[in-house]
Amino acid sequence: MRVPEKPSLDGLEAKWGEWWETTGTYRFDRSKTREQIFAIDTPPPTASGSLHIGHVMSYTHTDIVARYRRMRGREVFYPIGWDDNGLATERRVQNYFGVRPDPSLPYDPTFDVTALERPDDDRPVRVSRPNFIELCERVTAEDEKAFESLFRLLGLSVDWTQTYTTIGEHSRRVSQRGFLRLARKGLAYTAEAPTLWDVDFQTPVAQAEIEDRERDGQYHRIAFDRSDGGRVEIETSRPELIPACVALVAHPDDDRYHDLVGSTVTTPLFRVPVPVVAHHLADPEKGTGIAMICTFGDVTDVTWWRELGLPARVVVRRDGTLAEGRFGEPGWESEDAGAANAAMAELTDKASNQARRRIVELLREAGALLDEPTPVRHVVKFYEKGDRPLEVITSRQWFVRTLDRRDDLLARGRELSWHPSFMGARFATWVEGLNQDWAISRQRFFGVPFPVWFRLDDEAEPLYDDPIFADEATLPVDPSADVPPGFTAEQRGRPGGFIGDPDVMDTWATSSLTPQIAGHWEDDDDLFRRVFPMDMRPQAHDIIRTWLFYTVLRADLEHDSLPWSNAVISGFVLDPDRKKMSKSKGNVVVPTEVFERHSSDAVRYWAGSARLGYDAAFDEQQMKVGRRLAIKILNASRFALSMEAAPGDVTEPLDRSMLASLREVVRQATEAFDDYEHAKALDLVERFFWGFTDDYLELVKQRAYGVHGAEKAGSAVAALHQALDVLLRLFAPFLPYVTEEVWSWWREGSVHRAAWPSASELDVADGADPEIYEVSAGALTAIRKEKALAKVSLRIPVERATVRDTGARLAKLELGAADLREAGNVQILETEPADAASVDVVLAQPAQQA
């Protein structure tokens, strides 16, 4: 036994972090079977971002579970990845190196960024996509080192040999293979369709990436001309789309417009004849009850356009500006094409809000604006990272079928165990609200390319209906550099030749395969069978509709199973004012500084006290408490282990009673852990521990020193050792450093590979009554209280202490009476049966006058 004189928390992180690594404490043993393994689908944090205190909390939650399961005998598969695939990295690399990816360029194997010559005008240098990806990997490797060191400091018990990056070759291969499998089954398809589109990023946006924002807008009341010479009034917030109007629509049951349905009206300014149609989605309550259908103002327009078989007249370009007038051409009929094109010319090249201002003037001049616009606060759809409202733009994209799988997905959501359970409702709400298939292609440059080429016809126009898919054996491929089977490089871009699909996949198309990536699906079937479906997906609630949903979808489509059996959802960390922490509010906390101030165990204690699914306040006070607890564990352990008496048999009733009480704590903490209620487990263990130090240690101190002989001392020392041994293991998932430190003083190996405490190892407490300990500790507390109230030292002798309680409890007190007398320095201890419990204390020395 090597117990230090002055134990300390300082340096424990470095000492044990290194030891765990060199001894491979957390190394995954892949020889274990699926039943023996506990597999975790760890979230890959975004490289190029920074880790914040919210990560610290949720990753600690995961680690607590991992450590518990490991101690329960499961071989924990605990890999980690870095999400370096996506816009954040793309932008960073562009700025860092002054380059821009260009999918039309071939890969240059001799490319050397350090020798890069910048043009004088400071314009970015074009590089091929594969070269660009190499640069991304280089930059993100730096971020990943920083992340790793923070996670190591936090004490995550991940296997650092099982790491992956979402842009790495392995992830690209899995991602492309996953896509090919979907395409082959017809579950991924390409189509030219109206899609929500960000005009700044110039890329489609999936439903999951959309957020609503309240914006000020205006309603404009506008007159359309009826064929009978009358007018019909509509209300719109987007008058600039009048040239794109293809119909008016009213509800079939709306009597006001009953006669109008089936007739033709004429749009103002552009003089385009459009039909009046009926559809149940038209809301009689909104505006005037009759609405303009444009191609396309919003998603409802798309529904109307599709279901009513309307023509398309598109006026908004991909960059959000308005196009030139084409009135008079086929499909652009107008009663006065000249005037229509003249009006359109006033709007051409303007962004929609500028065009809106101009057309309002034109409408006013033409007498078609019936009232001055009325301000309105309404909700507009935005790309979550975007600055301007989304437009609906028609483009060719790859989609994954989700709409027709809603029932399946809802069933998967019910099959999954959610912790806490109410989080399942968010998933169900999301699935029920799906209104479009998942658009997975992005017109960006950095990302996983589609393993697809298109044949070119004699005019060198792509034939999209018959894509050429890559052979799975050749993955990953980059169609901008690689040549499809049966073609030669010279045929690229030539009539009768081919072109590569220039698009990349949505990052979620890769992230949704993290179980397959980490488990080496198809590349290592043996491993995959041992870890998939996994046991647990930890994540925060904000990405249920993205990461969680898409991962469930992919596993359902590819493996016809859930990807994991448990979803463990952490809350957010709020600042002490209950505000969400964010960079823009300037209230973010730098995790490394927090670790320095309080120690890793202390920070983990704070995180471990927070329940799953509920937001937690960032609370340094709580970390101080954690630090104090860790120090207390050091000191109490040193004390318990420094007794000179040899441990003997645990025979004293008080000792056995304490162990019986501990056994109940083990039972309850285990139950809490099995229910993913780690905060409850921590509370139980901590509560017992403080009682153990305040009461039990005090009660048995003298006896352990040997005042009643070696045998009774041996019982106390043995009980102290046994309790400490169990307590260290109970604390180990929460406080890995301090428990490992104490464990190393007197035990072999790592506490983190020791077995979780069981009831059977405490069988010395069989038949023992926990109440003996409870009654004795209660009496000691009462005596201490009297001394505190009398403002005297705890050493002051008690002349007489009279304990009143029920006969049964007094009988139990008798069994601990000898220890109680010593601990309280009681000269005469007497008992008196009574209905209500109380303690009378007569101090030997009167209270000092103040």
Partner RNA sequence: GGGCGCUUAGCUCAGCUGGAAGAGCGUCGCCCUUACAAGGCGAAGGUCGCAGGUUCGAGCCCUGCAGCGCCCACCA
Token representation of residue 125: 């240098």
User: What are the residues facing 617 on neighbouring strands?
Assistant: 574
Which residues within the stretch 384-403 sit at the binding site for RNA (CB under 7 A)?
389-390, 392
Residue placing its CB nearer to RNA in the complex, 83 or 698: 698
Using rule CB under 7 A, residue 236 touches RNA: yes
Residue with tokens 């920074």, as numbered in its chain: 50
CB atoms within 10 A of CB 506: 29
Which residues within the stretch 557-576 sit at the binding site for RNA (CB under 7 A)?
576
Enumerate residues 6+ apart whose C-beta is below 8 A from 792.
Answer: 843, 845, 847, 848
DSSP state of 846: P
- Asked whether the beta carbons of 816 and 653 are under 8 A apart, the reply is yes
Smallest distance from the beta carbon of 340 to RNA, in angstroms? 22
Which residues within the stretch 629-658 sit at the binding site for RNA (CB under 7 A)?
631-632, 635-636, 638-639, 642
Amino acid identity, position 525 = D
| Only segment of 39-47, 269-277, 287-295, 762-770 that touches RNA (CB under 7 A) | 287-295
The string of DSSP codes covering 530-574 is HH-SEEEEEEEGGGIIIIIHHHHHHHHHHHSS-SEEEEEEE-PEE
CB hemisphere CA count around 320 (13 angstroms): 19
Using rule CB under 7 A, residue 678 touches RNA: no
- Asked whether the beta carbons of 70 and 753 are under 8 A apart, the reply is yes
Residue placing its CB nearer to RNA in the complex, 139 or 434: 434
Residue placing its CB nearer to RNA in the complex, 325 or 386: 386
Which residues within the stretch 688-747 sit at the binding site for RNA (CB under 7 A)?
690, 693-694, 697-698, 701
Using rule CB under 7 A, residue 207 touches RNA: yes
Smallest distance from the beta carbon of 164 to RNA, in angstroms? 27
Phi, psi of 390 (to 5 degrees): -70, 145
Using rule CB under 7 A, residue 483 touches RNA: no
Draw the binding track, 417-456, toward RNA (x: CB under 7 A; -: no contact): -----x--xx--xx--x-x---------------------
Using rule CB under 7 A, residue 622 touches RNA: yes
Q: From CA 729, how far away is CA 752, in angstroms rounded? A: 8
Burial class (CB in 10 A: 0-12, 13-18, 19+), 575: middle
Draw the binding track, 159-198, toward RNA (x: CB under 7 A; -: no contact): ----------------------------------------
Residue with tokens 């954690």, as numbered in its chain: 626
Smallest distance from the beta carbon of 123 to RNA, in angstroms? 34
Using rule CB under 7 A, residue 542 touches RNA: yes
Token representation of residue 639: 């004390």
Number of residues that bind RNA (CB under 7 A): 87
The only residue of 300, 354, 744, 758 in contact with RNA, by rule CB under 7 A: 300
Smallest distance from the beta carbon of 134 to RNA, in angstroms? 35
Smallest distance from the beta carbon of 806 to RNA, in angstroms? 11
Q: From CA 457, how far away is CA 765, in angstroms rounded? A: 85
Token representation of residue 594: 């927090």
Using rule CB under 7 A, residue 292 touches RNA: yes
Residue placing its CB nearer to RNA in the complex, 379 or 489: 379
Token representation of residue 467: 């894509």
Which residues within the stretch 47-86 sit at the binding site for RNA (CB under 7 A)?
none
Residue 321 Rama label (left phi>0; alpha psi -120 to 50; beta): beta
The only residue of 115, 490, 836, 846 in contact with RNA, by rule CB under 7 A: 836
Residue placing its CB nearer to RNA in the complex, 226 or 680: 680
Smallest distance from the beta carbon of 785 to RNA, in angstroms? 4
| Only segment of 114-122, 229-237, 325-333, 410-418 that touches RNA (CB under 7 A) | 229-237
Residue placing its CB nearer to RNA in the complex, 238 or 419: 238
| Only segment of 104-112, 228-236, 393-401, 484-492 that touches RNA (CB under 7 A) | 228-236
Burial class (CB in 10 A: 0-12, 13-18, 19+), 8: exposed
Element of type H or E holding 194: strand 188-198
The only residue of 15, 30, 100, 680 in contact with RNA, by rule CB under 7 A: 680
The only residue of 611, 678, 752, 809 in contact with RNA, by rule CB under 7 A: 611
Using rule CB under 7 A, residue 600 touches RNA: no
Using the Cα atoms of residue 639, residue 645, residue 650 and residue 653 in order, give the sign of their dihedral: negative
Draw the binding track, 760-799, toward RNA (x: CB under 7 A; -: no contact): ---------------------x--xx-xxx-xxxxx----
Using rule CB under 7 A, residue 377 touches RNA: no
Smallest distance from the beta carbon of 195 to RNA, in angstroms? 12
The string of DSSP codes covering 63-123 is HHHHHHHHHTT-EEE--EEEB--SHHHHHHHHHHHTEEE-TTSPP-TT--GGGPPPPTT-P
Using rule CB under 7 A, residue 364 touches RNA: no
Element of type H or E holding 328: none
Smallest distance from the beta carbon of 811 to RNA, in angstroms? 19
Element of type H or E holding 723: helix 710-731
Which residues within the stretch 113-132 sit at the binding site for RNA (CB under 7 A)?
none
Residue placing its CB nearer to RNA in the complex, 182 or 277: 277
Residue placing its CB nearer to RNA in the complex, 152 or 426: 426
The only residue of 312, 379, 759, 808 in contact with RNA, by rule CB under 7 A: 379
| Cβ-count burial 541-555 (b if 16+ within 10 Å, e if not) | bebbbbbbbbbbbbb
The only residue of 141, 146, 281, 759 in contact with RNA, by rule CB under 7 A: 281
The string of DSSP codes covering 111-162 is --GGGPPPPTT-PPEEE-HHHHHHHHHHHHHHHHHHHHHHHHHHT----TTS
Using rule CB under 7 A, residue 592 touches RNA: no
Using rule CB under 7 A, residue 808 touches RNA: no
Residue placing its CB nearer to RNA in the complex, 146 or 788: 788
| Only segment of 18-26, 46-54, 290-298, 561-569 that touches RNA (CB under 7 A) | 290-298
User: What are the residues facing 828 on neighbouring strands?
Assistant: 800
Element of type H or E holding 525: helix 525-531
